[in-house]
Amino acid sequence: MTALETAELYFVPSGILATALGVASTEELKAGISFVGLVCGVLWLLSALDAYEELSERRVKLLTGLPIIASGAWLGSFCVHAGGLVL
């Protein structure tokens, strides 16, 4: 799988989850969606590291930044929405 295919594979679910987060009505649902988004971001990072073996080191650093940023955003969203929940 190429680097572009890997990115495309995770852009679609991330977009769907972001839309779902926007229309979710309860904090519990928003926290759940955020957690699924976090898992998706971590899986994207792990698969990205495998797919980018054929690229230069500079491009690998740039392209692994995308899943790191996405994972951080989903983690932040989870912390905000799960703040009032008992875990």
Quote the pLDDT of residue 7.
78
pTM for this model (two decimals): 0.82
pLDDT digits (tens, 9 = 90+) for 40-53: 999 988 887 777 77
Quote the pLDDT of residue 86.
55
Assigned token pair, 18 = 């972001």
Quote the pLDDT of residue 29.
93
